[in-house]
Amino acid sequence: MTEPVSKVFIAFQDNEESRPIVDAILADNPEATAVHSPGLVKIDAPAAW
């Protein structure tokens, strides 16, 4: 049986200022995923304990 994986997230406004930050986070964290919704980008990733 495997242990459940904890997840962490961070959310940003979806605008020109945050786009490079979101891109950098995704580039540095290959397991992270971005979910785009109107005006918001949420990045989910497994917790690194």
CA–CA gap between residue 23 and residue 8 (Å, rounded): 17
Name all domains of the chain by residue range, CATH numbers in brackets.
7-46 (3.90.56.10)
pLDDT at res. 4: 75
pLDDT at res. 1: 66
Dump pLDDT digits (tens) for 9-49. 999 999 999 999 999 999 999 999 999 999 999 999 998 77
pLDDT at res. 3: 74
CB 12 within 8 A of CB 44: no
Neighbour order of strands in the sheet with 33-37: 7-13, 40-46, 33-37
